[in-house]
Chain A
Amino acid sequence: MNAKNDAVLRVENLNVGFGAVPAVRGVSLSIDRGQCLALVGESGSGKSVTARSLIGLAGDTADVSAERMELGGESLTGLGRRGWRQLRGSKVGFVLQDALVSLDPLRTVGREIEDSLRLRTRLTGAERSRRVLSLLADVGMDDPQLRAGQRSGELSGGLRQRALIASAIALDPALLIADEPTTALDATVQAQILDLLASLRERGTAMLLISHDLAVVGSVADQVAVMTEGRIVEQGPVAQVLGSPQHDYTKKLLRAVPSGHPRGARLSGLPGPSSLSVSYGPAAAKPKAADSGVPQSGAGVPVLAATALAKRFRTPDKTSFTAVDHVSFELGAGETLGLVGESGSGKTTIARIALGLTVPDAGEVRLFGEPWSTLTEKDRRSRRPLIGTVYQDPLSSFDPRLTIGQTLADAATGGRTLNPRGSAKQVKDLLEMVGLPADFARRGPRTLSGGQRQRVAIARALAPRPRILICDEPASALDVSIQAQILDLLDDLQRELGLSYLFISHDLGVVRHMSDRVAVLRRGRIVEQGPAEQLFSAPQHPYTQQLLASSPALEAR
C-alpha cells in the first residue's frame, strides 16, 4: 500500500450501523490498480456490509459514515441516489455469491449482461448483442451464442458464475467486488473461477475479494484483511498474514482449517472432554459385549458392507441417469470411511441406500453381516436404531414446532412420545454428550445458532444409540471455526462410543482430516479407494489427482 497515488479505492474509518447496532467499526482499506485485497471473516463479521457500503447498497436502514471514501480519486461520501447509480456497474462491478439466485431466473443471461450496457452506454441493440457475445467469450464460455439465450436455471454452477462475472465487468469497471464468488461451487469449478478472477486482475482491475475461505484467499489475493465483529484485526500481505499471523483471531481461523491437520488433531483449540460421564447404554460401555438388541460385530465382519450397488433414475425427458454404478465398500467397527466427490457424483444416493431409504437397482448392503437393503421395511424397522444420520442443514430437518427436548425425546423413544419429562435423564445426557447445557431442552430450533443446531442434530442421531452414523456434509454450511468444533465433537464421540462413520463431503480437507479410509466418487463410480493418508499423498487415479490439484489448500504450517 505504498503507491498511494495509484490507489483505486481508499477507505478510511468506515462505520456502518443499523440503528443502534454497529456492523462495521472503523474499517480502513486501500486497493491499488491490478491488486487484490481479500476481506476474510466469518458470518456476521461485517465483511458483506463493508462491500455493499462501497456501492451504496448497504440498505435503507444503514447509517454509513466514513472519514474518507474515494474511488479513482472521486469522493463517494455524500453521493446521492443518482450519483450512486452512475457509479454502479460503470466504475464498480459487483459479483454476488451463488449465481443461481443472483441472476434473474426468468430472463436470459444475455439480457442480464446487456442491462449494464443499456443503462450506461449509447450502443445500439446490435452493438450491445455483439458486446455480450464477446464478454461471454472473455469469461470463458464455450458457446456464447447458445449461452446468451439461456437462463440461469439451464446453466451449471460454474457457467452461471461466469455469466454473473460477465455482467459485472461489462463496462470494464476499475474495481470489481466479489462477495464469496466461489462458495457454492465444486473444487474443480472453483479453481476455474479463481483463474478467471486472477486474469481480470492481471488486466489491471482492482479487486476486493470477500471470503470466509482462507485457502481461496491464499491462492488469489495480494493483501489480506481479517475481519471480526466489524473490525479489521489484522491486515497485510497474504504470505505474512497467513504465514505468521499475529492476532489471536487469525491464528484461531487458521488452526480451524482441517486440511493439513492429521487425523485426531484438535481443530477448535478447545480441550476435548477427558471422558464422557454419561452412559451410552450397554453397547457403548462394552463395545464387544453380546447384547440381545445389539448385534456383535465379530472380528473381520464389517458393520456396513455394500456390494456392487447400482441405482438409475429417470430424467424428465425419459432418458435415464446413472446415479450410482457398481459401488462397493466396507465400513469397519470404529472406523471412518470418507466418501468424497463433487455435486452429482452420487454421494447422497449412496447415503440413502445405506440408510435403507432408497432401494438399489442392483447390489446389496449388509448390516453387521446380515441382510439390510434386501429386507422389507417392516423387517428393517427393528434394526433401524443401529444407523443414525446427520444432515447438512439441520434447520430443515427439525420440526419447528417442537422444542429441542421434544425432538430428542421423540428420537430416544423411537417416536413413542414427545414428552421430554418421561425421558428427561436421556435428554439431559444427550445434550451433555454434544456439549450443550441442559436448559437447551426448552428452546426451539430457530433460536439456536448454526453450530448449536448441528450439535442437537448429532444428539438426535445418537438418541437411539446407533453404532453407525452417516454424516452427509455435516459441517459444510458452517463457518470454519464452528466447523472445527463440530468435527472435533464427532471425533470425540467416535473415540468414546466406538462409532463407525460414513463421512460424506465435497471438501477434501475435511474428509482427509476425518477419515481412516477414503473413497473418491465420480459420476456414480468409485474411482479410487484406500487409506486416507496414502490416497491424499500419492493419488493413483488421474481424477483424484485433478481434484487435489484444483482444491486450493493452505500449506501445513
Chain B
Amino acid sequence: MSGSTPEQPAPGRPALSDDGRGPARTLADGVRLPTTVRWLLAKVVGAVFVLWAVATLIFFGIRLIPGDPAEAILGGPGSQASPEALEQVRRDYGLDQPLLVQYFTQLGRLVQGDLGDSYSLRMPVAELLGNQLPGTLLLSALALLVAWLLALGLAGWSTLNGKAAAVVASGLEIAAAAVPHFWLASILILLFSNTLGWLPPVSTNSADGLVLPVLALALPLAGFLGQVMRESMLNAMTSPFALSARARGEGETGVLFRHALRHAALPGIALSGWAFGSLLSGAVVVESIFARPGLGRTLLNAVTLRDIPLVTGVALVSALAYVVVMAASDVAERAADPRLRAA
C-alpha cells in the first residue's frame, strides 16, 4: 500500500520553509493524482488483496479439517449416504477435480460476486448473509458507540474530579477490560432478566432486546478504550496549551471540552478500527448466548457443519467490514488530527 502512509516530517528535515507556509509545491514532475484519490486507490487495492488472501486461506484451511465435504453436503456423517450418492455430489460440486482447479473455479465465481450455495441450508450464501449481516452490524456499531460514550464519560468525570476519581476510574477500566464476554453476558442475564426481570434474556432487534447484548460487548471495550483515552486526556489537561487556555480565562470544563476531548479522542479513533474487528468476533459468543440470529451464529454453525461456501462467505464479509471500518477510522483520524494530513 505504498503512498498511503501518513507522512510526517522526519526529524532533522524541516517541514516548513522560513515563512512557515511549507515547501513550495512544483508541478514540474508531471500530473499527479490528488492525494485523496491516490489514497483511496491504495485502500481499494489493499482491500482486494486482503479479500483474496482471506478467500485463499479459508479455501485451503478448511480442507485441513478431517471429513468429507460430500458427506457434509448430504447432511453430515450421520446421513448414511450411499457411495453412489456421494459420487454424484462430488461430480455436481466439482469436488472430484484437482484442488487447484477447484480453487481457481471458486476464485472465478467470487470475482463475479457469486458466493455459491450453502451446503447445509441449500440457499444462496449471499441471501443468507444479507439476512444475517444487518443484525450483527447493528449490534457491533451500537456496542462501539456505547463503549465510546462510557470511556469518554468516565475519562472526563475522573479528569475533573482529581486523584481519587482517577483511581476509581482506573479500577473500573481494568475490571471491565479483564472480563470475558461470555461471563459478562451470563451475569447480565442473571441480574437483569432472571432476578430483576427488567430485560429479556433472548435478544431481538427491539430496543430492550438489544440492551444486554450491546452492554456485554461494549463494557470490556469501554474499559480498554477508557484506559488510553483517560491517559491522553490527562496529558492534555496538564499540557502547556491547557495552561495557556486557563491563563486566557477558560474554566476547567471549557478546557476539557474545547481542548482535552479532541486529544483524548485521537487514540480512541486510532483503536476503533481494531475494536470493531474484535466486536465482530465477540459477536459470535454474544449472539450464541442471547440466542440472537446473526453473522456470528451463522459462522459457528457453518464451521461445525463444514459448510465451505458459507464459511468463506462469512469470512469474506467480515474481512470486508473490517477493511471498510479501518479505512473509515483512518479518515476520521485524519479529520481530527490535522498533523496527519500530508504537509
Contacts and interface: CB of A to CB of B under 8 A. Distances in A.
A317 B20 contact: no
Interface string A224-247: 000000000000000000000000
B253 to A, nearest CB: 11
A150 B21 CA distance: 9
A168 B247 contact: yes
Given A316-B9, A318-B29, A349-B12, A90 B249 contact: yes
B295 to A, nearest CB: 36
A51 to B, nearest CB: 10
A321 B243 contact: no
A153 B339 contact: yes
23 contacts: A55-B247, A57-B246, A60-B162, A85-B251, A96-B247, A98-B240, A102-B241, A104-B259, A106-B336, A115-B258, A119-B250, A146-B21, A153-B339, A154-B338, A156-B16, A156-B19, A159-B20, A167-B244, A317-B22, A317-B343, A319-B23, A321-B14, A348-B12
Nearest to A164: B244
A115 B245 contact: yes
Contact of B240 (A96, A112, A151): A96
B20 A156 contact: yes
Contacts of B249: 85-90, 116, 119-120
Interface in B256-271: 258-259, 262-263
B16 A154 contact: yes
Contacts of A202: none
A145 to B, nearest CB: 13
A155 B22 CA distance: 9
A534 B182 CA distance: 80
Contact of B338 (A81, A93, A153): A153
A2 interface: no
Given A315-B13, A315-B343, A323-B13, 13 more contacts: A102-B243, A107-B262, A115-B258, A119-B248, A146-B21, A151-B338, A156-B18, A313-B12, A316-B9, A316-B342, A317-B25, A319-B26, A344-B14
B20 A155 contact: yes
Nearest to A342: B18
A465 B342 CA distance: 45
Max chain A C-beta neighbours (<10 A), residue from B9, B12, B247:
B247
Interface in B1-44: 7-10, 12-16, 18-26, 29
A89 B243 CA distance: 12
Interface string A31-55: 0000000000000000000000001
B239 interface: yes
Interface in B59-80: none
B337 interface: yes
Contacts of B241: 101-105
A115 B250 contact: yes
Nearest to B251: A85
B323 to A, nearest CB: 26
Interface in A116-154: 116, 119-120, 142, 146, 150-151, 153-154
Interface string B197-240: 00000000000000000000000000000000000000000011
Contact of B263 (A106, A153, A318): A106
Interface in B164-184: none
A503 interface: no
A321 B262 contact: no
A106 B338 contact: yes
A313 B13 contact: yes
B111 to A, nearest CB: 35
A316 B15 contact: yes
Contacts of B240: 96-98, 101-102
Nearest to A90: B249
A280 interface: no
A550 to B, nearest CB: 15
B238 to A, nearest CB: 10
A391 interface: no
A105 B248 contact: no
A109 to B, nearest CB: 11
A102 to B, nearest CB: 4
Nearest to A313: B13
A87 B247 CA distance: 9
A94 interface: yes
